[in-house]
Amino acid sequence: MSDNSEGDTPGRANPARPNRRAEGKARTREAVLSAAGTVFAERGYGSASVEEIARQAGVAIGSVYAHFGGKQALFAALIARTTADNLDGATGTLAEGPDDQGMLDRLGAQLAETADDRVRALLDAETWLYAIRNDDELATALADDDRRTRASIARILAEQPAPEPGPLLSTEELATVLTGLFHGLVRQRRMDPGSVPDSLFGRAMGLVNALTAHHTDAAPDPADGRKPGSTAD
């Protein structure tokens, strides 16, 4: 009688098989996303092809479609993962507090790492270019992803002690300013590295925080049209 202790038992499912299949699918998905990042970054969305991505990933074209459905869904999945990775680092750092110099230094280092990584910097630019050039389902998905990023940052900022007499910007507005500053400085450093030293983003963020949190006049009320510091007659 043969020994089936390490193989399949007749009439009984082998639990190792589903695990191996799941691991294989995960490896294929990761290979496709990695190849897609390079191809989309170097070719741009319009010139990138599923065929080239599959070739670089070392998989059949059908595997790309099986995992992602198509080029648009693949790009959306790639950007969502890249954004999530960046956000994990940023939110963890922001949670340390707005006045912590180490926090500002780490944010600056994160910006430098993004700008100095060719693929990440080009993907950041390609995402922006696609979103402003197009009005379709993918552009909407990219905008939604950006809104989720800003909302996550706003939640972290809202957990910080409230300044007196009150912030000049809401946490949502401040999150928008900081994300815009981040993306702008990434592109500036990519174009002219010497113009954006590693510490610039952290110092700029500290300045924005000081200006918005420690002003002496209350924010204007758009409803009454009065300027800060003015009084009603």
Q: Is the pLDDT at 13 greater than 70, yes or no?
A: no
Query: In sequence order, which residues have a C-beta less than 8 Å from that of residue 229 and are 6 or more positions away?
Result: 217, 218
pLDDT of residue 17: 66
Q: In the structure, what pLDDT confidence band is assigned to residue 224 with cuts at 50, 70 and 90?
A: very low
12 vs 63 pLDDT, higher one: 63
Q: In the structure, what pLDDT confidence band is assigned to residue 127 with cuts at 50, 70 and 90?
A: very high
Q: Are 115 and 121 in contact (CB under 8 A)?
A: yes
User: Selecting from 3.40.50.970, 3.40.47.10, 3.40.50.1220, 1.10.10.60, what CATH number does the domain 16-69 have?
Assistant: 1.10.10.60
Cis peptide upstream of residue 161 (ω within 30 degrees of 0): no
For 94, the enclosing helix (H) or strand (E) is: helix 71-94
Query: In sequence order, which residues have a C-beta less than 8 Å from that of residue 51 and are 6 or more positions away?
Result: 61
pLDDT above 90 coverage of the chain, percent: 49
Query: In sequence order, which residues have a C-beta less than 8 Å from that of residue 106 and are 6 or more positions away?
Result: 93, 202
Q: Is the pLDDT at 161 greater than 90, yes or no?
A: no
Q: Once rounded to an integer, what is the mean pLDDT over residues 81-101?
A: 74
Q: Could you give the CA distance from residue 205 to residue 211 in angstroms, rounded to a whole number?
A: 10
Q: Which two tokens mark 114?
A: 């993004």
Q: Which two tokens mark 215?
A: 């002003």
pTM of the model: 0.74
176 vs 164 pLDDT, higher one: 176
Place of tokens 């750092």: 93
Class of domain 71-213: mainly alpha
Domain ranges of the chain: 16-69, 71-213
Q: How many CB atoms lie within 10 A of CB 218?
A: 12
Q: Could you give the CA distance from residue 167 to residue 92 in angstroms, rounded to a whole number?
A: 22
